[in-house]
Amino acid sequence: MRTLKSLTSLICALAAVAVVATATPAKAQQEPHYLQALVELRTARDYFQYDIGKYGKQRAHIVDEINKAIAEVKHAAWDDGKNTKFAGPGQANGTWAPVHYGANALTNARKFVSQGVDPPQNQGLRIRALQHIDEAQLTVNELLQYGLP
């Protein structure tokens, strides 16, 4: 009798835990904009990381701004409840037109960041990320004016 009572109370306790565990409200479905932006920013960084002589200073400035944007986007993603480890690596491939492909990746990253949520607790992370992306794009436009591929 005592064993039956113990077994019944154990089953009731497990059922209560199961009900409580499933009854916790799940976070609202969040858009993956920040994770997509991270992939695009990493791709752009991969295209601009190498040095080609006299344009090395501009490329270093672009990479620095992209790194700053990545840091801001990571914080915004964390605040949005995202795990940035699930953002894929950069998708750069060996191409003959790295500046153009890098510029496209920056444009895509800007689009994704601007679509992301910027709640008040983010304290302007999205805005700062956009400013870093814009600064990188200005320098990329200078490189494109030099006629780089």
The confidence score (pLDDT) of residue 1 equals 61
CATH number (domain holding residue 62): 1.20.1260
Residue 95 within any structural domain of the chain: yes
In the 3-class helix/strand/coil scheme, how is the chain assigned residue by residue? CHHHHHHHHHHHHHHHHHHHHHHCCCCCCCCCHHHHHHHHHHHHHHHHCCCCHHHHHHHHHHHHHHHHHHHHHHHHHHHCCCCHHHCCCCCCCCCCCHHHHHHHHHHHHHHHHHHCCCCHHHCCHHHHHHHHHHHHHHHHHHHHHCCCC
Note down pLDDT in tens along the chain; length 149 residues.
Answer: 666 566 566 565 555 555 555 544 434 344 578 888 998 999 999 888 875 667 888 889 999 999 999 999 888 877 767 666 656 666 666 666 788 888 999 999 999 999 887 777 777 888 899 999 999 999 999 888 877 65
Per-residue pLDDT at 26: 38
pLDDT score at 88 = 60
- Per the domain annotation, does 109 fall within a domain? yes
Q: CA 71, 77, 79, 84 torsion: positive or negative?
A: negative
| pLDDT score for 24 | 40
Position 134 scores a pLDDT of: 95
> Would 63 be classed as within a structural domain?
yes
**Domain range holding 39?**
33-145
The reply to whether 16 falls in a domain is no
pLDDT of residue 138: 94
Domain count, the chain: 1
pLDDT score recorded for residue 135: 95
Residue 136 lies in a domain: yes
Check residue 83 and give its pLDDT.
66
pTM: 0.71
Please give the pLDDT value at position 74: 85
In a domain, 91, yes or no: yes
